[in-house]
Amino acid sequence: MYVDVKGYEGPLDLLLDLARKQKVDLAHISVLSLAEQYLGFIQTLKERRIEVAADYLVMAAWLAYLKSRLMVPHDDEDEEPSGEEMAALLQFRLKRLEAMRDAAGQLVNRPRLGRDIHARGDPESILTTKTNQWQATYYDLLRAYVIQREKSFPQDYSVKVRTVWSLSEAEEILERLIGQSAEWVPLQSYLSEYLASTEERQTALASSFTASLEMVRQGQIELRQSAPFSPLMVRRKR
Amino acid sequence: MEPNGQHSDIQTRNLRVLEALLFAAKEPLGADDLRPYLSENADLADLLDQLQQRYQHAGINLVQRGEKFAFRTAEDLSFLLRRDDVEQKPLSRAALETLSIIAYHQPVTRSEIEEVRGVATSKGTLDVLMEAGWVRMRGRRRTPGRPVTYGTTMGFLDHFGLEQITDLPGLGELKGAGLLSSNLPPDFSVPKPSDGDLTSDEDPLEPDDAGDDLLSDLDARNQPNET
Amino acid sequence: MEPNGQHSDIQTRNLRVLEALLFAAKEPLGADDLRPYLSENADLADLLDQLQQRYQHAGINLVQRGEKFAFRTAEDLSFLLRRDDVEQKPLSRAALETLSIIAYHQPVTRSEIEEVRGVATSKGTLDVLMEAGWVRMRGRRRTPGRPVTYGTTMGFLDHFGLEQITDLPGLGELKGAGLLSSNLPPDFSVPKPSDGDLTSDEDPLEPDDAGDDLLSDLDARNQPNET
């Protein structure tokens, strides 16, 4: 007997093939002789030094145990399954595998889509038009307009450099203008040069007046005013 | 126009819309695909029934595939229209067996498939079936290791011309013989294949579930002992 | 069976075969594709005519394409094959600014828009506004380079809830609403927009006018210095 183990889809498949050779319904199969055939087959393979997959050896061990259980009378005290139960189990598994094989055969021979039955050959595909719906509020629109227009306003806010006489500047100027003059001279006449310019007039007056008061306090000059709003007279203190 | 006439106008339009939608599509369409285009309160089941009857004797038929519907060429014309050239690479014996075990036993885990076949299932076999669009991962069984459960798809029904999973050939006899129970010997409750909602002992898959089974390698190794 | 009945049986079968073939075909089929499947001496033209009539009022029609035939969705139902996928997007700041300038200053050319904005306006921005249906090309200005003039549309009025373009708030109203600061240069003004007929310095667009501006690139390059 020569059988290529590679032709089988596992030990159960091998068993099913052996069982079919008994040419009887699986329900009436002799499990004992089936087990013997299987064990004999594995033995042959071993003798020929053919490598046997572990699956097949595990099944062989199980069948050897089944065989031993079948040959000794069943003891009711025994908690292990009886030989008959084990045989029924094997029969069931073989029947189930065979049933699935038959079912697979029926399935594959059904009228199949693409071979016997056809779908629409030229399906009219659905055109998906992707449209973006843009969102913007009226307020957004107006804000956007205003912001841009405001951006364009002329930006010539150059800070005006205001001419201001500081007190020390005024003091310096008075010092220089009055010199050593001991004559009463109106303060304004000393400043006439500066008072002509409108920009400087106010600051020249205010700062030089304040500076003159400070110079009086220091005893450098003297001030005199004969009447309210009359010219303010100034001279070097002797 | 009298109300009745108006009603039948709407009816006619609904039927035309269904006809056009189902005709244009290659894949079966379900209620969600169809209803948005019908008039409000349209009786979809009734309309589909009318359409099915209208095409009953035509060269194309309106067929049901699970919860969906599609036009397909009439089965009896298959001898004329048969195209062997387009048949993809035929399925391997292992793949075909695995497919039928999944179909008849679903929801089923990989180790249960292996238990039936008595041999380890290579990952490639399931991949081929999933790639063909016939098998899908349904969920995870609520048992230690949380193995993935497999089931068939609408594409399976469509490909093999089944209205629903209970139309599988020989299903009644297999059930009667107790050959669809995964636990042996034949027990009291014989399960019926279910390709629909998750059963009570299944959890949904995580969205990023890659379908790896923690115990599957172990299962595969232990397989022959397990019985 | 009497000859007549037999004849009509053959007829029916031929029609069914044609139906199935035309349904399953990847492209329109001609006499050479169809005849081999029909009974001998079948009158193909007559059969196709019958089929055409049968589907005349259905959701799908048998249409002729040159010498070939195919099933197609009825023309009045072609809307079923179009899906509009609408995505809502906020308008970019650049687009909003450009739109507001077009609204107030219309008819306005691209370089005039850029003059107000102080930066170059990309063609894409105008495209977005035209895609939104808010801006249109009105004509071409009668100046060197004949630049395109832009204006707003009915859709613009619709979207912003304006009855007419002159409802846009003027200087006083913008100030009153606190949108515009009250510290304005004396020569500041807000133009009175007009979205109606072409003005005296605008020419109509040619029917195939693509809206390209000859000088726009030049304008755009000079822009940042221009203010």
> Is A225 among the domain residues?
yes
Confidence check: pLDDT of C27 > 90:
no
Arithmetic mean of pLDDT, A188-197: 78
Given B19, B24, B81, which is nearest C81 (Cβ)? B24
Q: How confident is the model at residue B202 (pLDDT cuts 50, 70, 90)?
A: confident
Given B26, B87, B118, which is nearest A97 (Cβ)? B118
- Residues in chain B within 8 Å Cβ distance of C24: 73, 81
> Is A26 among the domain residues?
yes
Residues A100 and A173 in one domain: no
Residues A103 and A183 in one domain: no
Q: Which of A74, A75, A69, A88 is nearest to A31 (CA)?
A: A88
Q: How confident is the model at residue B2 (pLDDT cuts 50, 70, 90)?
A: very low
Residues A104 and A171 in one domain: no
Which stretch of A73-87, A158-172, C202-216 has the lowest confidence by average pLDDT? C202-216
On whether the CB atoms of residues A224 and A180 are closer than 8 A, the answer is no
End-of-domain residue from the set A92, A108, A124: A108
> Is A63 among the domain residues?
yes
How much is the pLDDT for A174? 83
pLDDT higher at B199 or B207: B199
Distance CA A103, CA A90 (A): 20
- Residues in chain B within 8 Å Cβ distance of A101: 97, 100
Residues A95 and A173 in one domain: no
How much is the pLDDT for C227? 32
Instruction: Look at residue C87 and give its three-state secondary structure.
Output: strand
B20 to C59: CB separation less than 8 angstroms, yes or no: yes
C174 to A120: CB separation less than 8 angstroms, yes or no: no
Q: Which residues lie below 8 Å from residue B213, measured CB to CB, with a gap of 6+?
A: B109, B110, B111, B145, B147, B148, B219
How much is the pLDDT for B85? 65
Is the pTM for the entire model greater than 0.80?
A: no
Q: Which residues lie below 8 Å from residue B198, measured CB to CB, with a gap of 6+?
A: B107, B138, B139, B204
- Supply the mean pLDDT for chain B: 82
Residues A92 and A19 in one domain: yes
Arithmetic mean of pLDDT, B168-183: 82
Arithmetic mean of pLDDT, A67-77: 78
Candidates B13, B16, B81, B86: best to mutate against C (most CBs of C within 10 A) is B16
> Is A143 among the domain residues?
no
Given B16, B24, B58, which is nearest C19 (Cβ)? B58
How much is the pLDDT for A130? 66
End-of-domain residue from the set A57, A87, A108: A108
> A18-42: string of b/e by CB count within 10 Å (b at 16+)?
bbeeeeeebeebebeebbebbbebb
Confidence check: pLDDT of B57 > 90:
yes
How much is the pLDDT for B86? 59
ipTM greater than 0.85: no
Confidence check: pLDDT of B14 > 90:
yes
Arithmetic mean of pLDDT, A84-102: 90
Distance CA A11, CA A21 (A): 15
Given C27, C82, C181, which is nearest A129 (Cβ)? C82
> Is A128 among the domain residues?
no
- Residues in chain B within 8 Å Cβ distance of C19: 58-60
Number of domains present in the structure of chain A = 2
Residue B27: what residue type? E
Residues A98 and A184 in one domain: no
> Is A157 among the domain residues?
no
Distance CA C114, CA C132 (A): 20
Distance CA C189, CA A152 (A): 12
End-of-domain residue from the set A88, A108, A128: A108
Distance from CA of A199 to the nearest CA of C (A): 26
Residues A13 and A84 in one domain: yes
Q: How confident is the model at residue C17 (pLDDT cuts 50, 70, 90)?
A: very high
How much is the pLDDT for C19? 95
Residue B57: what residue type? H
> Is A172 among the domain residues?
yes
On whether the CB atoms of residues C69 and C22 are closer than 8 A, the answer is yes
CA Rg value for chain C: 31
Percent of chain C residues past pLDDT 90, beyond the cut = 27
Residues A12 and A102 in one domain: yes
Distance CA B98, CA B118 (A): 11
Q: Which domain holds residue A179?
A: 167-236
Q: Which of B213, B6, B5, B15 is nearest to B113 (CA)?
A: B213
Distance CA C160, CA C156 (A): 6
Residues A96 and A173 in one domain: no
> Is A183 among the domain residues?
yes
Arithmetic mean of pLDDT, A94-119: 89
**CATH code, domain with A221:** 1.10.10
